[in-house]
């Protein structure tokens, strides 16, 4: 039974370009206090008369447009968002407020150091906190996102190994890894060798030992890994790598399972990234921005991207004199606005609070696992950390796959879990509730999952054709890929009237075609 949702009116809305009419505007610039410059005179012939087909709307049309579109989205603010590996926790609003503090939001990266001390202090304090949390020796805040951090970390590894005489050729990547890992290795000039996981969902230590030789630069490991299982033999794994002169990189995507409980620096990790937009609560915003701080052991420090913060005479300075650096990975110093939010989160929690958050995250994941395990096949028996991974083995016998269950979950008022990842699990359902979900929401979710399992037994068609209650039913991704339309184009005059699928307000709303059972 669907408990969390019911249908309600949803506004139609056309594209900005379709609601535009010539001459409308929603801005007012101040009167120029200097003589107006003629563009043609200033720029020669190099000018344009206008930006063709650019929108022209009034302020109220603008706010309605974007507000209507916003109601077509699901969001954490509306409920559980259990995307495994994505750590969709609540985004505290205090973070948004402090990031907009004028002296921080309007600080120019090239303003004098003497007038940047507050911003630099924030970065220094965040670096310190992240080093404490990871048990590492130093942190760079420059990378813009997790994958960018991976690239930075891999370049650091390459630089260190090169300084020891041989950059080596290969990076080992478990078959359960995020796609960014092999993609990053390739961008930094390494070959990728996949290492199999064992029947417990952990890295196969013997396979790793067999694959290990002097050509291997590093292992990229995620811990807990993408099936939510802690790599029990991480010390042994690190020793295998270190014995042959290789390094261990940790993808910190799942750090929400470890903060305050275990520190990568203590279990043999040489370099890792943190996704500040996951573990440290900065909002995902429909796909970004994030920040991908990289934490390292001392021996990698000389190679960090410049500039680095340096304290001298009670003042912060940017040190550009980094002769052994791998170079910049982006302009300026990093996604500072995201860093401010992450520090605010850390301050709000304090050391103990951070550890409590971790314990609650693991509690919530295990609670969900326990409730739905009778109905879905757990991928691995090993204990779960902050997320639990099931396979659709029971349901696929009825012809229902993980993607279908996900779509049906939408009708129940939830964003789906991560679908079909990790690749090593057949038909994976990867569920990460995070610590910020109350018990009521978890119970509703478990109820929904159980109810869907029953529907699959009794009437799989209702799941196979889901979602039924969304304003948009399933979309045709095949045609989108075969005949890509990636931008709006002004229709030819003759076609303006007959354009199909146009949501003009004078078109009556379509009666939703619902099966009787879900009305």
Pick out residues in 462-481 that bind another protein (CB under 8 A): 467, 470-481
Among 3, 7, 121, 214, binds another protein (CB under 8 A): 121
Token pair 């120029």: residue: 32
Give, as ranges, the residues between 275 and 304 that touch another protein (CB under 8 A): 275, 277, 283-292
CA 61 to chain centroid: 32
Q: Report in angstroms how near the CB of residue 434 gets to another protein at its nearest.
A: 12
Q: Which is nearer to another protein, 414 or 457 (CB)?
A: 414
36 near another protein, judged by CB under 8 A = yes
Nearest to 222 by CA among 164, 278, 181: 181
**Interacting residue with another protein among 6, 70, 313, 492 (CB under 8 A):** 70
Closest CB to another protein among 144 and 448? 144
- Does position 99 bind another protein by CB under 8 A? yes
- Measure CA of the first residue to CA of the last residue in the chain; give whole Å: 12
> Residue 508, class by beta-carbon neighbours within 10 Å (0-12 exposed, 13-18 middle, 19+ buried)?
exposed
Which residues neighbour 481 within 8 Å (Cβ) at sequence distance 6 or greater?
Answer: none
333 vs 390 by CB, closer to another protein? 333
CB under 8 Å to 83, separation ≥6 — which residues? 415, 416, 417, 418, 430, 432
Residues 437-466 that bind another protein (CB under 8 A): 439
Site for another protein in 230-269 (CB under 8 A): 230, 232, 234-235, 259-263, 266-267
- Cβ 462 to another protein, closest distance in Å? 15
Handedness of CA 207, 212, 216, 222 (dihedral sign): positive
* Contact call for residue 383 and another protein (CB under 8 A): yes
Residue 351 vs 399, nearer CB to another protein? 351
CB 142 within 8 A of CB 328: yes
**One residue of 1, 9, 42, 516 binding another protein per CB under 8 A:** 42
| Residue 261 or 457 having the CB closest to another protein | 261
Report the nearest approach of another protein to the CB of residue 110 (Å). 5
Query: Does 514 interact with another protein (rule: CB under 8 A)?
Result: no
Of positions 197, 335, 402, 434, contacts another protein by CB under 8 A: 335
Closest separation between CB of residue 392 and another protein, Å?
Answer: 16
Q: Which stretch binds another protein (CB under 8 A): 201-209, 243-251, 295-303, 319-327?
A: 319-327
Q: Which residue in 7, 109, 239, 496 binds another protein (CB under 8 A)?
A: 109
Question: Rounded to whole angstroms, what are the CA distances from 196 to 172, 193, 211, 213, 235?
Answer: 10, 10, 10, 17, 18
Nearer to another protein, 182 or 252 (CB): 182
Near another protein by CB under 8 A: residue from 2, 4, 11, 24: 24
**Interface with another protein (CB under 8 A), residue from 8, 9, 112, 165:** 112
Contact 230, 267 (CB under 8 A): no
Angle formed at CA 91 by CA 351 and CA 99, multiple of 5 degrees = 85
Q: Does residue 497 touch another protein according to CB under 8 A?
A: no
Q: Does residue 254 contact residue 386 with C-beta atoms inside 8 Å?
A: yes
Residue 208 or 269 having the CB closest to another protein: 269
CB 450 within 8 A of CB 375: yes
Q: Which of 7, 73, 198, 459 lies at the binding interface for another protein (CB under 8 A)?
A: 73
**Separation CA 25–CA 506 (nearest Å):** 24
- Footprint (CB under 8 A) of another protein, residues 183-202: 183-189, 192
The contact pattern for another protein, residues 144-183, with x = CB under 8 A and - = no contact, is: xxxxx-xx---x--x--------x----------xxx-xx
Q: Which is nearer to another protein, 122 or 212 (CB)?
A: 122
Stretch of 84-92, 212-220, 428-436, 454-462 lying at the interface with another protein (CB under 8 A): 84-92
Please report whether residue 21 would count as binding another protein according to CB under 8 A: no
- What sign has the CA pseudo-torsion 163, 166, 171, 172? negative
Which candidate, 505, 138, 38, 113, places its Cα nearest to that of 316?
Answer: 113
Q: Is 381 in the site for another protein (CB under 8 A)?
A: no
Residue 96's Cβ-count burial label (10 Å; 0-12, 13-18, 19+) is middle
What is the rounded distance in angstroms from the CA atom of residue 356 to the CA atom of residue 371?
22
Q: Is the alpha carbon torsion for 276, 278, 283, 284 positive or negative? A: positive
Contact between residue 385 and residue 228 where contact means Cβ atoms under 8 Å apart: yes
């Amino acid at each position: 039974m669907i408990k969390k949702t019911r249908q309600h009116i949803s506004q139609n809305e056309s594209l900005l370009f379709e609601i535009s009419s010539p001459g409308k505007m929603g801005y007012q610039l101040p009167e120029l206090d200097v003589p107006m410059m003629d563009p043609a005179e200033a720029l020669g012939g190099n000018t344009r008369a206008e930006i063709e087909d650019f929108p022209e709307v009034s302020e109220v049309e603008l706010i309605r447009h974007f507000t209507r579109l916003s109601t077509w989205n699901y969001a954490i603010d509306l409920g559980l968002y259990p995307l495994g590996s994505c750590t969709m926790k609540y985004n505290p609003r205090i973070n948004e407020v402090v990031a907009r503090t004028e002296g921080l939001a309007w600080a120019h990266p090239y303003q004098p150091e003497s007038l940047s001390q507050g911003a630099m202090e924030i970065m220094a304090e965040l670096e310190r906190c992240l080093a404490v949390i990871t048990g590492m020796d130093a942190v760079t805040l420059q990378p813009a996102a997790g994958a960018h951090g991976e690239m930075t970390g891999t370049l650091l590894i390459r630089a260190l190994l090169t300084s020891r005489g041989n950059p080596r050729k290969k990076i080992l990547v478990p078959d359960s890894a995020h796609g960014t890992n092999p993609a990053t290795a390739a961008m930094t000039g390494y070959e990728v060798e996949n290492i199999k996981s064992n029947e417990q969902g952990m890295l196969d230590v013997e396979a790793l030992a067999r694959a290990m030789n002097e050509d291997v630069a590093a292992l990229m490991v995620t811990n807990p890994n993408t099936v939510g299982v802690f790599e029990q033999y991480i010390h042994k794994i690190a020793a295998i790598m270190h014995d042959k002169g290789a390094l261990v990189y940790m993808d910190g995507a799942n750090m929400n399972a470890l903060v305050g409980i275990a520190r990568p620096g203590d279990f043999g990790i040489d370099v890792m990234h943190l996704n500040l937009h996951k573990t440290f609560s900065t909002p995902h915003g429909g796909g970004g921005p994030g920040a991908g701080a990289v934490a390292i052991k001392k021996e990698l420090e000389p190679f960090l991207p410049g500039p680095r913060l340096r304290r001298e005479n009670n003042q912060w300075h940017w040190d550009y004199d980094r002769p052994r650096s791998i170079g910049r990975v982006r302009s300026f110093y990093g996604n500072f606005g995201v860093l401010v939010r992450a520090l605010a989160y850390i301050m709000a929690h304090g050391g103990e609070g951070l550890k409590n958050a971790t314990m609650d995250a693991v509690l919530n994941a295990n609670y969900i696992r326990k409730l739905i395990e009778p109905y879905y096949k757990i991928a691995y028996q090993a204990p779960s950390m902050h997320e639990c991974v099931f396979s659709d083995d029971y349901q696929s016998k009825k012809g229902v796959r993980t993607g279908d269950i996900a779509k049906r979950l939408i009708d129940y008022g939830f964003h789906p879990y991560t679908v079909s990842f990790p690749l090593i699990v057949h038909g994976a359902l990867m569920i990460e509730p995070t610590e910020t979900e109350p018990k009521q929401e978890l119970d509703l979710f478990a109820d929904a999952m159980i109810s869907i399992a029953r529907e699959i037994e009794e009437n799989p068609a209702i799941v196979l054709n889901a979602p039924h209650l969304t304003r948009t039913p399933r979309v045709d991704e095949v045609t989108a890929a075969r005949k890509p339309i990636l931008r709006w184009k002004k229709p030819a005059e003759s076609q303006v009237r007959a354009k199909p699928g146009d949501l003009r307000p004078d078109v009556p709303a379509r009666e939703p075609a619902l099966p009787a059972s879900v009305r």
